Amino acid sequence: MNNTILSSVLLAVSFALCAPAVAASAKTQPESKTSTQQSQKGKLEIAQHIRSEDLIGIWGTGAETSEGSLLNMTIMKRDGTGTDLMVFVINNPESSLKIKQAFSWQFDEKTQTFTQRTTDFATSEDGKTYKQDPSEIGKTRTAKVRMLLLGGKPDMLEFTDTANGEKISYFKQDPAKLREALK
């Protein structure tokens, strides 16, 4: 499957998922703050400063149309490592592509810049055995980061690639809810 097509699909999905949250954020800005608790409860706002700690956890996005579906998950750990999993399914003719990527990451809190270095990369088409792609290993990507907070807690994460300007958005996932959904 062509990487350009996948990049275009990911970009379109991130815009589609991001737009309602950003619009809701603009509508929910309070006119005055009477207390910290009152101003934070249920409020959507763009984080003024993101900390490395805010990135830790499970983040995901997904979309489904009559043509197919996309699931894109990333897990970022405290030790500076992470894992990406993307599953792309086309309905007619039926086919699928799975991408697994392991990476190391750093976040510069001063510049709000995220750097990711691929340490393993493998793909599987139509349920076949994963094949490692050595040409992807060692690649480094840098992105500016923005975060949408809900009630003062991380809710949506947006990466803007510094090389090409492409954006991708993820929503914070609750591990307990994910375990329940996978049962």
Rounded mean pLDDT, 4-33 = 38
pLDDT tens profile 50-91: 999 999 999 999 999 999 999 999 999 999 999 999 999 999
- 62 three-state secondary structure: strand
Dist. CA 98–CA 88, nearest whole Å: 6
The whole-number pLDDT of residue 26 equals 35
Q: 135's torsion region: left (phi>0), alpha (psi -120 to 50) or beta?
A: alpha
| pTM for the structure as a whole | 0.74
